[in-house]
Amino acid sequence: MSHHALETLVVNTVHESPLTAATLVALSDSGEWAVIERDGQRLDAAVATGCLVRPRPGDTVLTFGGEDGLFVVQVLRRPGGGPATVSVPGGGPLAIAGESLSLTARRRLSLEGDRLDLRGRSLALVAEATTWLGKRITGVVERFQLSAQTHETNARTMVEKAVTRTAVVEETDTLRAETRLVKVGGMAAESAASKVVAVADDLRLDGQRITMG
């Protein structure tokens, strides 16, 4: 084969290549269809399922033309950079699987959805500060243990219910309240090495039998 024939074959192969770069002009809301501009012509193209980076108008994209039509297969360049969105054309489900997965964000990592499920044999959350905002938080566990240098709870109404309750205070237990009501259905027993009861106005003991001493 002569040198001229070889050059002609290479040129024809390049021109007849089904892969061509184009500029994306518009994208449907579902992300399944696009309008591209190539060689001064605007053409309709379907977004390939493997094009996981959602194209945007102005992007330089790689297109493939075949018997089944014209497809946008990849985003090659985005003028000015800008954020990239990974999604399946048409809004279908997307699953990522691997032996080990890592998500790293230099500034912020956001997870958003109508429902968020985290499942695993072990979950470790390490942060300097955490904030929980919601109308309701429900937890069902076999054992709940909380360890803190300082623990503060603020609530308009607080209700505790347990079959058996044990409170251990190694140093000082202080209770401040405007009014305190204690009702025990059975027997109430209290013991101390020394106890002082001080009232400003009235101290009243009422019972069918009162034994002191």
* Most confidently predicted of 64-68, 74-78, 82-86, 189-193: 74-78
> Global pTM?
0.58
Which alpha helices (H) appear in 76-180, and where do they start and end?
none
Class of domain 18-77 as given by CATH:
mainly beta
* Most confidently predicted of 16-20, 60-64, 135-139: 60-64
pLDDT the model gives residue 2: 53
Do 26 and 54 contact (CB within 8 A), yes or no?
no
Query: Beta strand pairing status for 60-66 and 69-77?
Result: antiparallel
pLDDT the model gives residue 7: 47
Do 45 and 55 contact (CB within 8 A), yes or no?
no
Give the residue extent of every domain in the chain.
18-77
The radius of gyration computed from the CA coordinates of the chain, to the nearest angstrom, equals: 36
CA atoms of 212 and 206, how far apart (whole Å): 13
Per residue in 100-129, pLDDT (tens digit) is 989 888 888 888 888 888 888 888 888 888
Q: Strand ranges (DSSP E) for the chain?
A: 19-27, 33-38, 41-47, 60-66, 69-77
Per residue in 149-201, pLDDT (tens digit) is 998 999 999 999 999 999 999 999 999 999 989 888 888 888 888 888 888 88
- 35-51 mean pLDDT: 93
